[in-house]
Structure 1
Amino acid sequence: MIHLLKNQISAVLLAGFGITSFTALAQQPAYQLWYTKPAEKWTDALPIGNGRLGAMIFAGVEKDHIQFNEETLWTGGPRDYNHKGAAAYLPQIRQLLFEGNQQEAEKLAAEKFMGSMSGAGDRTKWVGDMKALKGLQGNPALENYDDQSWKSIKVPSYEGWEAVGLSGLDGAVWFRTTFEAPPNWQGKDLVLDLNRIRDQDLTYVNGTLIGNTDGTEPRKYTIPAKLLKPGKNTIAIQVLNYFDKGGLAGYKDTSKAIAVYPKDAPGNGVSLVKEWKYKVQNDEPPLVPQFQASYQPFGDLYLNFKTENEAVTNYKRKLDLNTAVASTTYTLKGINYLREYLASQPDQAIVIRLTADKKGSISFDALLGSPHKYSGVKKINANTIALSLKVRDGVLKGESRLQAIITKGKLLVTANKISIVAADAVTLYLTAGTSFVNDKDVSGNPASAAVKALTGLNGKSYAQVKAAHIKEYQKYYTAFSVSFGPDSKASLPTDERIEQFSDGNDPAFAALFMQYGRYLLISSSRPGTQPANLQGIWNELLTPPWGSKYTTNINLEMNYWPTGVLNLSAMAEPLIRKINALAKNGEVTAKVHYNAKGWVLHHNTDLWNGTAPINASNHGIWVSGAGWLSQHLWEHYLFTQDLNFLKNEAYPVMKQAAVFFNDFLIKDPKTGWLISTPSNSPENGGLVAGPTMDHQIIRTLFRNCIAATALLGVDADFKKTLEQKITLIAPNQIGKYGQLQEWLEDKDDTTNKHRHVSHLWGVHPGNDITWDTPDMMKAARQSLIYRGDEGTGWSLAWKINFWARFKDGNHAMKMVKMLISPAAKGGGAYINLFDAHPPFQIDGNFGGAAGIAEMLLQSHTQFVELLPALPADLPEGEVKGICARGGFVLNFKWKDGALSAVEVYSKTGGVCLLRYGNKITSIATQRGASYKFNGDLEKL
């Protein structure tokens, strides 16, 4: 892919054109995220990244926390994800679906068709050992057991004991507390309401077992009257947690307390929401089988300062999007302190610089740690320590190095920390690597990347490192600029702007959000790295939501929507390499599961490029991942016009995806159409025959392949086959409610508010449905109206793009305001502007940024259309370096809601059909030339 990378970097640089009047490399608006207090939790912290290394900056004054990641640290390892013999059951599953027997089809598919899982440990033996109190002295269930030496923990915690101090723990833990029984409770049966416990509990009152449940169903145990004692009573609970969140979870609705109360008087209880005593009995539970692997945190860097609780003034932490440098400033004892943080791609290190305006003022201890059980810190030399680790549920190892360079002062390295006293300035270099080589090879030296980076930094000043970082970053970032008028609220901290955005007038914040999306993509997906996952590159949990993997039925694809239009084509390189690797594994899955040629991908994948169906048959058997990812290859060609890329990389993979569907499509016995089955309309309605989304993706893939064969002059017979098949695929249909049908049958439920709106794929990101077919477009819009505006973060982002394609800018802007609102039960943004599913998923950031761009420019039809969905809230603005399909880069301005000037640069030549409202002009462009027009598209 070397030629691809060179071409795309050239394309990025071309956005500047070298023409003074037409350049996105001009002065950028000073977009920043900033706050007046340190981060209290992870989603308050500020992200930095170089594509491979990521860090979250908490910026505390007394204790600064830098949580960091390395992109290839995952659980699992190379293995066969496929279910041997699955294809033998495909005809039977199809027949059951044709007969309308969905339940039986899902049951058979769950048993015979899902992918294989990783190996399991001996749970029966482990549970037996834990119940036999192995590893303990005495019996903690007994009333008079001495727990004075035990630690205390907050109970309950709905997000698991991980959220209240037991990070990364799975295993057996004992909890103990007491409650006072009022005199009027004597002689009554009581209820011990614990609601949710993860995963199994053995619950004792005054030494007697009253309940034992394995699973997460509510716990409401009876305490017989005969067990109750006057006054103090003891509760002891042995919790057995196998995987993920553990402990007494209680109620998600925190207004409901776990409690003890009389059966006949539920409202008169004693709350058990308080600190309980706890003791870890065992932290080595048997391995739980997994379909796929999970992305892992690497470690934590803590900077502990000796501030002696002095008053701090002038505190500010910020992230400068123009330089990708985070900083913290404050005043203490009259001394002004500055910390700068950056993730350098040229030097492959996270860099922290600490200075003050008084000499000898920098004193702190730097400590490395990790949530991984198998980890340790050691001294390397006089200014370097190392953190080594091994993933528990997997084969990978990792190593990071922390090196300190000081000006004046003293530096002391012990076994696990670096101590610095009275320095003028300090630079910390944090590096990391793993043993991952590729999805089949884990033989790498985990220390090599860290050591190589530090070796390369020898002799470089911080000023040189920072300058190289900014230069490399800005060649991507400054290729595009956007302004929606004066930034009148720049004086407000970002958290306050989020609170006010949905109800106030702050168009500049929408522009900042666009650039923040670009910043996050550059930071998590540089050429040569892994692609951005569900959380980009940032993750603090050993068991993150959805494994922080690559969900391929919307989320991975949404991550890369900004690449073309927002002038970040080079950032697509990691995705393109991922697609190539998936295509290889997907060939095996296509054969094993469908006895088909070509390649297939289901709804999820991971570092190891698993392609088999996972989780459950009612949503895991979705066959269109390869088709959707192939659309990204085609789109990449459309934006870059790189014929070599199309010939050598895109088309061969697209063709094999089409080959699979050519084998896979089957005639529906009722309609005679070719349909996709078994499959799913993500993640709604279960296993079905003929979901609309599949047919849109397949039809679009076939069209793209047909166009590619014509451009390349190849595969005439294959082209003819696709041209014949495409006419036989089940078409889009309008149902009885005037809606676009989600399925083959007209069975849509207009009250269903599901977050996925998969059958509108043909509207966006596809172009199977456009205003060229107004009745179908109106039906699609009606479906979206029925589905409603509410949704999780990424769902809100997708709806921005839909409403933009419907050319309803005001509705699209309504969705933008919902997306950029305080994180709530569904959607919104955390105070660091991370998208809230909730919990955090980064796709909403990327989809939202692309959606705002879609309001300003669309090029998915024959036209390059300007301001197709401009909302009233954005009456003026200017964009530079925005891209259109066909290899065009545009600068344009508008005022009072009307276009005032536009300039088009053509990277490769060709006809540009420029449209604004009802005005159309055709430009026969020349390679490397630019063309200027006024607001009426009259050439200047």
Structure 2
Amino acid sequence: MKFLMLPIFTTLFCVTSKSQNNDLQLWYNKPAEKWTEALPIGNGHLGAMIYGGVGEDRIQFNESTLWSDGPRDYNRKGAYQYLEPIRKLLAEGKQKEAEELAQEHFMGLRSNEKGYETRRKEWLQKVKGDVIISSPQWNNAQWESMQLPTLNGWETAGLEGLDGAVWFKTTFALPDDWQGKELLISLGKIRDLDITYINGKQIGSTEDITTNRLYSIPANLLKKGINEIEVQVINYFDKGGFAGTKGDREIFAIYPKERNGKESVKLKTVWEYWIQNDDAPAMPRYQADYQPFGELQLSSQVADISEYRRTLDISNAVSTVAYKSGNVTYTKEYLANYPDNVIAVHLKASGKGNVNYKATFTTVHKNYSIRKIDDHTLALDVAVKNGAMKATAYLYVDNKNGRVEVADKALQISNSDEATLYMIAATNFKNYRDVSADANAICKAKLAAVKKLIYEKVKAAHIADYKKYFDKFSLQLNGGIANSGLPTDERIKQFSITNDPALLTLYVQYARYLMLSSSRQGTNAANLQGIWNDLLTPPWGSKYTTNINLQMNYWPSESLNLSACTPPLFKLIKEVAEAGKETAKEYYNAPGFVLHHNTDQWRGTAPINASNHGIWVTGGAWLSSHLWEHYLFTRDKTFLQNEAYPVMKAAADFFVHFLVKDESTGWLISTPSNSPEHGGLVAGPTMDHQIIRELFSNTIEAAKALGVDESFRKKLLQKYDSIAPNQIGKYGQLQEWLQDKDDSSDTHRHVSHLWGVYPGKDITWNNEKMMKAARQSLLYRGDDGTGWSIAWKVNLWARFKDGDHAMKMLQKLLSDATAGKGSESGGVYPNLFDAHPPFQIDGNFGGAAGVAEMLVQSHMGYVELLPALPSTLPGGVVKGICARGNFTINMQWEKGKLMRADITSNAGSNCIVKCGDRTVAFKTVKGKTYSLDQALTLIQTK
């Protein structure tokens, strides 16, 4: 069939990308002060955060393979001997005993575990005995000042990476009428151990990070006038120092034990401190941490700044800072080029000879060196403490006119017309088993190529490579007002009180920008923070949490036309499948592979942390669904045969042997496991059964598509029919566990038992009763939560076809995270990074996937258009959104109604389209585009 295309749609679809580029910028009228105000750039290998300072500029950078620890064995040998005893205890209702047994015998091996307690005891005795407060060493120590408390550790006060012993001291004046009285001193929480003194005499000591320190001061230790408080704080790992307290408990105060009224002496909040020892023995760790590399600092002498503007143009992946000083206009461009694998900083100034900068390297790593390579090149070498990783970065400058000098561990650019800084970096990482690469040799070889680069060509190649993927999708949302004239941080504050759909468009495209910047062919998969991290001990190790967060990172990859970003994920899946074979054998005496709730660069797959949440067996099964989804979206049978199916089959084979019959119900159940991070170690969590059912179903379909393993298919089908089904409980809710024990007032951040609604398809509108029970569960859970939890709820409400509720979640997701809303309140930071809090990138990706799910769904065997369109987005145009069956869709809607859809068939699959109460089905030819009007009438094929 051939019909004339309506001209209005031709125009709309052609100009959408161009028109929206004007609004695809994050911009600010001041430099960043905090890391969560800085702007991210990245190419998958290298990532950097741009602060955009004027006199002092900071570019904090990362390299994707720089992690703590190194290749090692994570598995406790013979742990399977305790599997049946643990199962038996759970079957008898003895959860506490099961968790205790599992904690002792079923958790993974930790690094540096052997002999640690002896080393710690010896070190602790040393630092306790090293200093006597009255000795000359005490008075000769180099004391500095610190504002207390440091709620997120003394790391935030400049002591990043310090594990050891630090002395603090201050003074207070004793009121005359308190002489002879016993007093109390309240200091709040201290990490990890404190030994507290008054005038050199110990009054108390506690080793606990949750206990508020409240000590008695005997009257005979006090003296008239000024008294001194001395506290030795010993921190073994991670955050250290005075951590304050939650609520309104009075801290940093002294008052009489027999207190009259509220009288107290308020202590100073600026104390002196002295680092006594910064070499605590390496703490045993279950898994590794993603590491920062260093920081490039640019110094210049400028004054009287005006017309400052800092931007990140996500349509071209270029960040720019521009300002005037006197009559001179200065600009700095920052980009992370993938084809050449460099970070480039281009420095310009109007007039001649006005580019004058000093460039230096710094790092938070204790073991580092800075050295000169040649007259235009500086190097930074770092070695990760107590780990196997070593890394090198080179900084090379290409300048036009003027002079360059490398001296005193700095690179000086003087009187140039313009200059480009190129940064390259490498580590000794080869693969998760091998760290024998030579980072310096890699950088040295790369330097020869970098010296031939021309910035204009580097920038052009970067933009062309980036736009090849970014421009495949565009989105225009109409309605409300556009606040693009406001700086992005101000615009975020306005989003929940004004309808600004253009900010939602920016948010979706920003997620695509972040994915292209952190996950490219040949790189590591995006971790909890993508590729960006400035801390030696980042939140949750900035690793790969596989009970939701890693998977959420890749939720939008297929639907938002970024399938090209998935190879790093598939590489990770292949490697954990390899490593997880030994875990399956040692812990469950089973074939196939298993992955628990976290992994890292070294592909640890054993249970970690605590048995009440670390023993969760379906991480590998969930990841396997991404392989199948990729096939459904692309119809790439070669990928299915060579990459997907072997992993899917191995994951399924594990559960064929792992599932056991529940004696009380006769169903096959998953035990031991847990409903992620909620409710402790149990038998038969609902989420497990949903994931396993879908794994079996997907593996059966994959085997059919490939025409293989008929007997294995039959075995899976038999098991599938016996797995414990979804159940509706006494509150009309979908049960989270095998037993009906849900609490209708429970607002836990995880909504794990709703996995079958999204991202799975175990529960659909084909079973309306079960779908309504799942919806009831979500209503009980409430609308609040951490950033990623709110993002998950966006997708769930979209699957429930409630666009207005999904939009309500998006308003929470894009709320101002700096407004002090609490520890599990979500929102975004000024740079649009998602807040757990703190920063986790999964919320960015999950929220963008939710918008896609509101516009197009295809998980039920047909393509549904506008299934969950909110009333606040009555009109819009989307171009390049993808559906299963390898369909690409351009679509326009007005007044809440579909106007037109152009569906391109990239694989020649049969197509069923639904919108509202209308459905149309038609066969397609690969490469053809099929145009439908508002009634789903086929009006053109071309």
Q: Which residue of 2 aligns with 1:292?
A: 287
Q: What is the aligned partner in structure 2 of residue 179 from structure 1? A: 172
Aligned 8 A contact 1:412 1:420 in 2? yes
Contact kept in structure 1, 2:61 and 2:294, CA below 8 Å: yes
Instruction: Name the stretch that deviates more: 263-272 or 833-842.
Output: 263-272
Which whole-Å CA distance do the structure 2 matches of 1:767 and 1:351 have between them?
Answer: 44
- 1:375 aligns with 368
The verdict on how the C-alpha distance between 1:271 and 1:676 changes in structure 2, with shifts beyond 3 A counting, is: same
Amino acid at match of 2:70: G
| Alignment partner of 1:643 is 2:637 | yes
Instruction: Specify which of 445, 448, 469 is matched with residue 462 of structure 2.
Output: 469
SS at match of 1:27: helix
* Partner residue of 1:511 out of 505, 509, 514: 505
The AA in structure 2 aligned to 1:899 is L
CA distance in 2, matches of 1:209, 1:537: 46
Aligned twin of 1:484? 477
Report which stretch shifted further, 151-160 or 40-49. Answer: 151-160
Whole-Å separation in 1 of the counterparts to 2:262 and 2:309: 47
Q: Which runs of 5+ in 1 are unaligned?
A: 1-18
Change (3 A) 1:24 1:73: farther
Shift of 1:459: 2.2
Superposed CA deviations along residues 568-607 of structure 1, whole A, max 9, x for unmatched, are 0111110001000000011100000000010000000000
2:910 maps to what in 1? 911
Distance 1:473 1:448, change over 3 A: farther
In 2 relative to 1, CA 464–148 (structure 1 residues): closer, same or farther, beyond 3 Å? same
Query: Partner residue of 1:885?
Result: 884
**Structure 1 equivalent of residue 126 of structure 2:** 129
* Mapped pair 1:29 → 2:20: yes
The residue correspondences of 1:753-764 to structure 2 (distance < 5 A) are 753-764=747-758
Contact 2:188 2:251 in 1 (8 A): no
Q: In the alignment, which residue of structure 2 is the partner of 1:74?
A: 67
Distance 2:202 2:715 in 1: 69
Q: 1:28–1:481: 8 Å Cα contact kept in structure 2?
A: no
CA positional deviation for 1:186: 1.2
- Cα drift, residue 180 of structure 1: 1.3
* Aligned 1:358-397 pairs, distance under 5 A: 358-397=351-390
Q: Aligned pairs, how many?
A: 916
- Distance in 2, Cα, partners of 1:883 & 1:256: 56
Given candidates 804, 817, 820, the residue that maps to 1:810 is: 804
Higher mean C-alpha displacement, 83-92 vs 114-123: 114-123
Find the counterpart in structure 1 of residue 316 from structure 2.
Answer: 323
State the match for 2:831 in structure 1. Answer: 832
TM superposition shift of 1:142: 6.7
| 1:485-512 C-alpha deviation (Å, 9 max, x unpaired) | 3772111110111101011110111111
State the Cα deviation string for residues 493-544 of structure 1 (Å, max 9, x = none). Answer: 1011110101111011111100000000110001111000000000000000
Query: Given the alignment, which residue of 272, 282, 285 partners 2:267?
Result: 272
How far apart in 2 are the matches of 1:356 and 1:36?
19
Query: What one-letter code is carried by the residue in structure 2 that aligns with 1:887?
Result: N
**1:28–1:478: 8 Å Cα contact kept in structure 2?**
no
Matches of 2:45 and 2:679, distance apart in 1? 38
Bigger mean CA offset, 486-495 vs 418-427? 486-495
Counterpart residue number, 1:57: 50
Contact 2:676/2:752 (CA < 8 Å) preserved in 1? Answer: yes
Q: Secondary structure at the match of 2:18?
A: coil
Given that residues 16 and 877 in structure 2 are in contact (C-alpha distance below 8 angstroms), is that contact kept between their aligned partners in structure 1? no
Name the structure 1 match of 2:684.
690
Partner of 2:931: 932
Task: Work out whether 1:420 is the aligned partner of 2:413.
Answer: yes
* Stretch deviating more after TM superposition (176-185 or 251-260): 251-260
Matched-pair contact (CA < 8 Å) for 2:16–2:475: no
Code of the residue aligned with 2:122 in structure 1: it is K
**Structure 2 counterpart of 1:652, from 636, 646, 655:** 646
Tell me how far 1:939 sits from its aligned partner.
1.3
SS of the residue aligned with 2:839? coil
Distance 1:394 1:862 in 2: 49
5+ residue gaps, structure 2: 1-9
SS of match in other structure, 1:717: helix
Q: CA deviation at 1:145?
A: 4.9
SS at match of 1:29: helix
Give the C-alpha shift of residue 372 in structure 1.
Answer: 0.4
Residue 166 of structure 1 and its aligned partner are, at CA, apart by 1.2
Kindly provide the CA deviation profile for residues 540-584 of structure 1, in whole angstroms up to 9, marking residues without a partner as x. 000000000100000000000011100001111100010000000
1:629-649 CA distance string (max 9 Å, x none) = 000000000001000000111
* In structure 1, C-alpha distance between the alignment counterparts of 2:539 and 2:96, rounded to whole Å: 28
Tell me if 1:338 matches 2:307.
no
Superposed CA offset, 1:709-748 (max 9, x none): 1111000000011111110000000001000000000000
How far did residue 451 of structure 1 move?
2.9
Q: Does 1:241 align with 2:235?
A: yes
Q: 1:536 aligns with which of 530, 539, 560?
A: 530
Shift of 1:257: 3.8
Is the counterpart of residue 599 in structure 1 residue 593 in structure 2? yes
Q: Residues 202-235 of structure 1, C-alpha deviation per residue, up to 9 Å, x if partnerless?
A: 1111010111222212211111111111211111
- Do the aligned partners of residues 22 and 311 (structure 1) sit closer, same or farther apart at CA in structure 2, a change above 3 Å counting? closer
Identity %: 56
Contact 1:24 1:481 in 2 (8 A): no
Distance 1:63 1:638, change over 3 A: same
Letter of the 2:660 counterpart = I
In structure 2, the residue matched to 1:347 is 340
**3-state DSSP of counterpart to 1:751:** coil
Deviates further, 224-233 or 366-375: 224-233
Q: Separation in 2 of the partners of 1:481 and 1:325?
A: 18
Q: Aligned to 1:317, what secondary structure does the other structure show?
A: strand
Please state if 1:566 is matched with 2:555: no
Deviation per residue, 1:399-425 (Å, 9 max, x gap): 101111111222111141111222211
Q: CA RMSD in A?
A: 1.6
Q: Please say which of residues 758-767 and 170-179 is displaced more in the overlay.
A: 170-179
| Residue number in structure 2 paired with 1:7 | none
Change (3 A) 1:815 1:106: same
2:399 paired residue number: 406
The one of 764, 776, 779 equivalent to 1:785 is 779
TM-score normalised according to structure 2 size? 0.96
State the alpha-carbon separation in 1 of the partners of residues 163 and 19 from structure 2: 48
1:683-705 residue CA offsets vs partner (Å, 9 max, x unmatched) = 10000000000000000010001
Aligned to 1:204: 197
Identify if the C-alpha distance between structure 1 residues 837 and 539 changes in structure 2 by more than 3 Å, giving closer, same or farther.
same
Q: Deviations over 1:747-803 (max 9, x none)?
A: 000111100000000000000000010000000000000000000000000000000
Question: Cα offset for 1:613?
Answer: 0.3
- Tell me which amino acid in the other structure corresponds to 2:423: L
Are the counterparts in 1 of residues 859 and 884 from structure 2 also a CA contact under 8 Å?
yes
Distance in 1 of aligned mates of 2:248 and 2:159: 20
Q: Distance in 2 between matches of 1:273 and 1:877?
A: 57
Aligned partners of 1:24 and 1:932: how far apart in 2? 18
Change (3 A) 1:443 1:593: same
Query: What is the deviation of 1:144?
Result: 11
Q: Distance in 2 between matches of 1:144 and 1:691?
A: 59
Matched residue SS, 1:78: coil
* AA of the residue aligned to 2:801: K
CA distance in 2: counterparts of 1:24 and 1:907, whole angstroms:
23
Report the alpha carbon displacement of residue 342 of structure 1 after superposing the two structures with TM.
Answer: 0.4
Per the TM alignment, residue 198 of structure 1 is displaced from its structure 2 partner at its CA by 1.0
Q: After the TM superposition, which residues 415-814 of structure 1 pair with which residues of structure 2 at under 5 Å, given as runs? A: 415-485=408-478, 488-814=482-808
Amino acid at match of 1:440: R
1:883 and 1:757 mapped to 2: Cα distance? 26
For 1:273 and 1:921, the matched residues in 2 are separated by: 73
Instruction: Give 2:4's aligned residue.
Output: none
